[in-house]
Amino acid sequence: MQGAAHDAAPAIAKLTRERVRESHINLTGATVLRFSFAEAMDGEYMRRLLEKAGVPIRMPMRRR
């Protein structure tokens, strides 16, 4: 490989390993959530996401 494709190869391999790992987790019946740092900082967004995923929330989430 040459150029940009060669430079991207390690990143592609890492993403592929992560997708396989996530697939194995999903096969256990666990729910996998993906979110960005900005989304994690949005308390209302996270509350809705966790609620939709069935995560029990015992305490009100506080925004820092």
pLDDT in tens, the chain (64 residues): 566 777 899 999 999 999 999 999 999 998 889 999 999 999 999 999 999 999 987 776 677 7
Angle at 29 between CA 62 and CA 33, to 5 degrees: 35
For residue 54, the 8-state DSSP code is T
- Give the per-residue pLDDT at 1: 52
How many helical (H) and strand (E) elements, i.e. helices and strands, does the chain have? 3, 0
Instruction: Supply the pTM of this predicted model.
Output: 0.59
